[in-house]
């Protein structure tokens, strides 16, 4: 049995594959089903894969669970400054570049798909929270990012108050609060941190806490409380996505499977599994998610041919994957020192102003500053 510290720093290669599976399932949902349903993909008809592709919508919920699972590794033992800079490094550079690329493609060819963009819209999206300012997202998939940031904001609150060590203990009570609100006061379920989507975040975080600190009745109770929200949520999704008893059961079992797979990472034999190219799988996930939707819709609508649908899909996927690799390599990897310096001098200093914890002597990192050394795989969405 490995110690808690060893479990925290151990790289989970299966998690990278799960992350990539979540991203590709969302791509399948959009390209094979949702694009036709919402009128944004106009050149192709639904194929025989449209039915199974509908399940790809749940890739978003798997993302949320994985994000909850890794966030404790990103926050445990970190200062507010390290956490903020680490999160900014992971989220903002790829988002800004992917959003700009999407806006360019929309400006050039988006008219046919009804996808338009304005300069003001692009500026509002630079915040990553455009809807808070009454601005439409450049790409519809960005709605999940606000939930991510809200989740991180609560974690940051614990850190700036010097209570980061209590975050794991707080999770079961948060899970219980979400369950009570959704069942007893559903009018409040849309409030920040209490909606059904946050049950997925908390479920992943609780599983990570079980992996780190062990099983306890309170943690298991919290996990059951999240399932009491997430599984009925899956049934509700099925009611409009795939009506009927079989669709309802399938969606509910899919969410249960998410719990089972993440819980399996608590087993040393599963956590130790080594998989080829796992770092690439994990690294490409976020830019692929950001780039695929509107760019894919527009390219397929403009250049896709119903007479050769799979050729059309193959070419567009190749273009999207090429952009994905370029953003990951050029922006996230090679640009990391530049982005680190930018965020450390801005957001990092702001976090220091808010931080109530005792100051520690900085270690030497990029530019002589304290680089947020997040465990391998922990700083990815």
String of DSSP letters for 40-87: S--S----TTHHHHGGGGGHHHHHHHHHHHHHHHHHTT--HHHHHHHH
Note the pLDDT of residue 72: 84
End-to-end CA distance of the chain: 27
Q: Give the distance from CA 378 to its chain's centroid.
A: 12
Residue 211 resides in a domain? yes
If DSSP codes are grouped into helix, strand and coil, which group holds residue 380?
A: coil
Note the pLDDT of residue 356: 76
Is pLDDT of 163 > 70? yes
Q: What is the DSSP string of 173-210?
A: HHHHHHHHHHHH-GGGTTSTTTSHHHHHHHHHHHHHHH
Structure-model confidence comparison of residues 357 and 301, the more confident one: 301
Is pLDDT of 372 > 70? no
Structure-model confidence comparison of residues 73 and 164, the more confident one: 164
Note the pLDDT of residue 376: 38
Please state, in angstroms and rounded to a whole number, the distance separating the CA atoms of residues 148 and 152.
Answer: 6
Note the pLDDT of residue 367: 38
Note the pLDDT of residue 307: 85
Mind listing the pLDDT tens digit for each residue in 89-133? 999 999 999 999 999 999 999 987 789 999 999 999 999 999 999
Domain count, the chain: 1
Mind listing the pLDDT tens digit for each residue in 205-231? 999 999 999 999 999 999 999 999 999
Nearest residue to 293 via CA among 49, 59, 45, 65: 59
Note the pLDDT of residue 190: 80
Please state, in angstroms and rounded to a whole number, the distance separating the CA atoms of residues 57 and 84.
Answer: 29
**Average pLDDT, stretch 262-269?**
96
Q: Where are the beta strands (DSSP E) in the chain?
A: none
Residue 381 resides in a domain? no
Consecutive H or E run containing 102:
helix 80-109
Mind listing the pLDDT tens digit for each residue in 270-307? 999 999 999 999 999 999 999 999 999 999 998 888 88
**Average pLDDT, stretch 194-210?**
96
pTM of the model: 0.91
Residue 287 resides in a domain? yes
Residue 379 resides in a domain? no
Structure-model confidence comparison of residues 337 and 38, the more confident one: 337
Residue 375 resides in a domain? no
**Average pLDDT, stretch 179-191?**
89
Note the pLDDT of residue 42: 86
| Mean confidence (pLDDT) of the chain | 90
Note the pLDDT of residue 378: 41
Mind listing the pLDDT tens digit for each residue in 138-158? 999 999 999 999 999 999 999
Count of helix runs (H) and strand runs (E) in the chain: 17, 0
Residue 380 resides in a domain? no
If DSSP codes are grouped into helix, strand and coil, which group holds residue 272?
A: coil
Residue 377 resides in a domain? no
| φ, ψ of residue 142 in degrees (nearest 5) | -70, -10
Nearest residue to 188 via CA among 200, 177, 201, 174: 177
Is pLDDT of 370 > 60? no
Range of the domain at 116: 4-368
Please state, in angstroms and rounded to a whole number, the distance separating the CA atoms of residues 74 and 155.
Answer: 10
Note the pLDDT of residue 360: 54
User: How far, in Å, are 211, 300, 319 from residue 286 at the CA level?
Assistant: 25, 21, 16
Burial class (CB in 10 A: 0-12, 13-18, 19+), 335: middle
Residue 378 resides in a domain? no
Please state, in angstroms and rounded to a whole number, the distance separating the CA atoms of residues 239 and 255.
Answer: 15
pLDDT band at 379 (very low <50, low <70, confident <90, very high): very low
Is pLDDT of 9 > 70? no
User: How far, in Å, are 71, 279, 296 from residue 376 at the CA level?
Assistant: 12, 9, 31
Nearest residue to 36 via CA among 25, 47, 22: 47
Please state, in angstroms and rounded to a whole number, the distance separating the CA atoms of residues 52 and 241.
Answer: 11
Note the pLDDT of residue 73: 83
Other Cβ atoms less than 10 A from the Cβ of 367: the count is 11
Is pLDDT of 362 > 50? no
């Amino acid at each position: 049995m490995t110690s808690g510290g060893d479990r925290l720093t151990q790289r989970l290669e299966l998690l990278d594959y799960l992350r990539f599976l979540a991203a590709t399932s969302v791509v399948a949902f959009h390209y094979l089903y949702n694009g036709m349903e919402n009128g944004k993909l106009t050149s192709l008809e639904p194929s025989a894969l449209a039915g199974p592709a509908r399940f790809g919508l749940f890739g978003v919920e798997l993302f949320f669970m994985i994000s909850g699972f890794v966030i404790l590794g990103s926050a445990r033992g970190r200062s507010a400054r390290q956490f903020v800079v680490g999160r900014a490094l992971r989220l903002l550079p790829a988002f800004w570049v992917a959003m700009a690329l999407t806006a360019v493609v929309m400006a050039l060819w988006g008219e046919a798909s009804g996808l338009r963009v304005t300069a003001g819209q692009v500026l509002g999206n630079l915040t990553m929270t455009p809807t808070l300012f009454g601005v439409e997202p450049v790409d519809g998939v960005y709605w999940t990012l606000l939930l991510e940031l809200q989740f991180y904001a609560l974690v940051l609150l614990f850190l700036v108050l010097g209570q980061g060590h209590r975050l794991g203990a707080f999770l079961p009570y948060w899970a219980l609060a979400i369950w009570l609100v959704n069942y007893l006061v559903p009018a409040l379920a849309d409030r920040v941190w209490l909606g059904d989507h946050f049950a997925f975040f908390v479920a992943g975080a609780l599983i990570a806490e079980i992996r780190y600190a062990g099983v306890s009745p309170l943690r298991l109770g919290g996990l059951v409380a999240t399932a009491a929200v997430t599984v009925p949520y899956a049934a509700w999704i099925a009611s409009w996505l795939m009506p009927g008893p079989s669709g309802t059961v399938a969606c509910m079992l899919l969410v249960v499977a998410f719990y089972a797979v993440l819980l399996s990472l608590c087993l040393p034999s599963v956590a130790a599994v080594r998989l080829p190219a796992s770092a690439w799988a994990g690294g490409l996930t976020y830019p692929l998610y950001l780039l695929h939707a509107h760019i894919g819709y527009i390219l397929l609508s403009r250049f896709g041919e119903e007479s050769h649908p799979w050729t059309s899909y193959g070419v567009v996927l190749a273009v999207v994957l090429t952009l994905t690799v370029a953003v990951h390599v050029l922006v996230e990897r090679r640009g990391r020192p530049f982005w680190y310096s930018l965020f450390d001098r801005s957001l990092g200093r702001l976090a220091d102003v808010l931080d109530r914890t005792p100051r520690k002597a900085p270690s030497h990192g990029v530019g002589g500053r304290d680089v947020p050394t997040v465990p391998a795989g922990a700083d990815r969405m």
